[in-house]
């Protein structure tokens, strides 16, 4: 059996966590299956060295005007191609789509149209298509609605990971037996605490997200920086040893440096499992990166968040802690109250106990 994992990669640490979680489960349940991905151009989300290092084969893919030209590699005999780990689209038995959050008005028409065209091709070839747990919608754009409806029509299993995503889908497609809600599955991965992480020096992790700048208005973007700076100041007042933690890329790093202003450490880690280990070893988390928040909540680490889509609100609802969602427009007393609660020992312990109870339930659903 040949299984393709698509839309996951290494540049985005959330995508890397999803990829690693899928690989871990496939190795356990289908150890003899061949796993393939489409490599990206240099600097892209899935570079050749990283994917081959995880034991992946490569799927030949070249898109031109919606047409898959990668099958031209099939002119080379399969025995020779497979010797070098190269497969073509028509050989794939199952596609696991782990886009995370791509199919929405917020990301434009392109991803949804590409998915619609691909699923039509896979349906014609008899390839099974599974959209892994992820966020969907909103779908107000007529062309995106049309594309999503076509994609779902050609899929075998579609898994919105929250109630809002489920509603967004069925408003477009109608209820279907194979649209089933399941939570994010990166909670199944175990983090690795780096040997050089000193919890006596690093207390509360602040995880910025550049999407809070480029996916919101200019006014909201400026307010976000101010909001995060005020969180840093309050945590310093509480002697909670705040530090900035980079969960993705250069944009987040520049944002972290701006928020820090040189007053607190900025920690950068390329390995997603070590990032999860750092989050698990932190006293608390203030964040805007979805999978950083999953890593914290699933390990019972008290966290508060501000985000730019419905997926944040739904995540905290799943973990029984809706109060942990903050708005950048909340007054200072509300923000300080929540920061105090995740730092103060007795309140934080109570929150942690509650999170671990919900984490057990979420892991069972993910499995």
Residue 68's pLDDT is what? 65
Between residues 23 and 61, which one has the greater pLDDT? 23
Segment 175-203 shows an average pLDDT of 95
Place of tokens 């190795």: 27
pLDDT, tens digit, for every residue of 70-101? 667 767 888 888 888 889 999 999 999 999 99
Segment 127-142 shows an average pLDDT of 96
Token pair, residue 18, equals 């999803």
Look over the chain and give the mean of its residue pLDDT values, rounded to a whole number: 91
Residue 47's pLDDT is what? 60
Residue 50's pLDDT is what? 66
Say which range, 74-83, 110-119, 340-349, has the weakest mean pLDDT.
Answer: 74-83
Segment 268-287 shows an average pLDDT of 96
- Please check the confidence at residue 141 and state whether its pLDDT lies above 60: yes
Percent of the chain, pLDDT > 90?
77
Token pair, residue 22, equals 């899928």
Reduce the DSSP state of residue 5 to 3 states and report it: strand
- How far, in Å, CA of 250 to CA of 345, rounded? 34
Residue 307's pLDDT is what? 85
- Please check the confidence at residue 218 and state whether its pLDDT lies above 80: no
Confidence of residue 335 (pLDDT cuts 50, 70, 90): very high
Token pair, residue 19, equals 């990829």
- Please check the confidence at residue 295 and state whether its pLDDT lies above 80: yes
Residue 214's pLDDT is what? 80
Segment 108-116 shows an average pLDDT of 94
Segment 158-165 shows an average pLDDT of 96
pTM above 0.85, yes or no: yes
Say if CB 85 and CB 57 are below 8 A apart. Answer: yes
Confidence of residue 313 (pLDDT cuts 50, 70, 90): very high
Phi first, then psi: give them for residue 131, nearest 5 degrees.
Answer: -90, 110
Q: To 5 degrees, how large is the angle CA 159–CA 10–CA 222? A: 85
Q: What is the DSSP letter of 325?
A: B
- Please check the confidence at residue 287 and state whether its pLDDT lies above 60: yes
- How far, in Å, CA of 84 to CA of 59, rounded? 11
Beta bridge partners of 128: 94
- How far, in Å, CA of 357 to CA of 350, rounded? 11
- How far, in Å, CA of 213 to CA of 222, rounded? 8
Token pair, residue 20, equals 């690693």
Confidence of residue 66 (pLDDT cuts 50, 70, 90): low
- Please check the confidence at residue 45 and state whether its pLDDT lies above 60: no
Residue 67's pLDDT is what? 64
Name the nearest CA neighbour of 205 among 264, 271, 273.
264
- How far, in Å, CA of 325 to CA of 262, rounded? 27
Segment 234-240 shows an average pLDDT of 97
Between residues 144 and 50, which one has the greater pLDDT? 144
Say if CB 95 and CB 88 are below 8 A apart. Answer: no
């Amino acid at each position: 059996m040949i299984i393709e994992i698509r839309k996951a990669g290494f540049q985005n640490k959330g995508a890397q966590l999803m990829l690693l979680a899928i690989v871990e489960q496939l190795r356990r349940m289908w150890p003899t299956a061949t796993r393939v991905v489409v490599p990206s151009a240099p600097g892209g989300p899935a570079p050749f060295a990283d994917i081959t290092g995880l034991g992946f084969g490569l799927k030949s893919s070249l898109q031109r005007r919606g047409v898959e030209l990668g099958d031209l590699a099939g002119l080379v005999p399969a025995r020779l191609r497979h010797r070098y780990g190269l497969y073509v689209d028509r050989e794939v038995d199952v596609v696991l789509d782990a886009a995370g959050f791509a199919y929405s008005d917020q990301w434009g028409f392109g991803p949804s149209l590409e998915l619609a065209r691909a699923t039509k091709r896979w349906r014609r070839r008899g390839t099974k298509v599974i959209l892994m747990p992820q966020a969907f919608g909103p779908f107000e754009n007529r062309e995106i609605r049309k594309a999503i409806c076509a994609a779902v029509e050609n899929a075998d299993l579609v898994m919105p990971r929250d109630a809002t995503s489920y509603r967004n889908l069925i408003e477009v497609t109608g209820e279907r037996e194979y649209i089933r809600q399941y939570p994010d599955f990166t909670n199944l991965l175990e983090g690795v605490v780096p040997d050089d992480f000193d919890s006596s020096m690093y207390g509360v992790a602040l995880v910025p997200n550049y999407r809070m700048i480029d996916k919101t208005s200019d006014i909201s973007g400026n307010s976000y920086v101010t909001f995060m700076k005020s969180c840093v100041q309050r945590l310093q007042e509480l002697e909670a040893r705040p530090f900035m933690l980079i969960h993705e890329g250069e944009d987040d790093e520049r944002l972290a440096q701006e928020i820090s202003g040189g007053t607190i450490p900025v920690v950068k880690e390329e390995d997603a499992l070590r990032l999860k280990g750092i989050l698990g070893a932190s006293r608390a988390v203030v964040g805007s990166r979805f999978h950083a928040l999953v890593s914290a909540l699933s390990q019972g680490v008290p966290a508060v968040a501000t985000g730019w889509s419905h997926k944040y609100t739904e995540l905290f609802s799943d973990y029984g802690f809706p109060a942990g969602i903050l708005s950048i427009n909340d007054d200072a007393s509300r923000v300080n109250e929540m920061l105090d609660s995740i730092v103060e020992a007795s309140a934080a312990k109570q929150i942690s106990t509650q999170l671990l109870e919900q984490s057990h339930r979420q892991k069972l659903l993910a499995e």
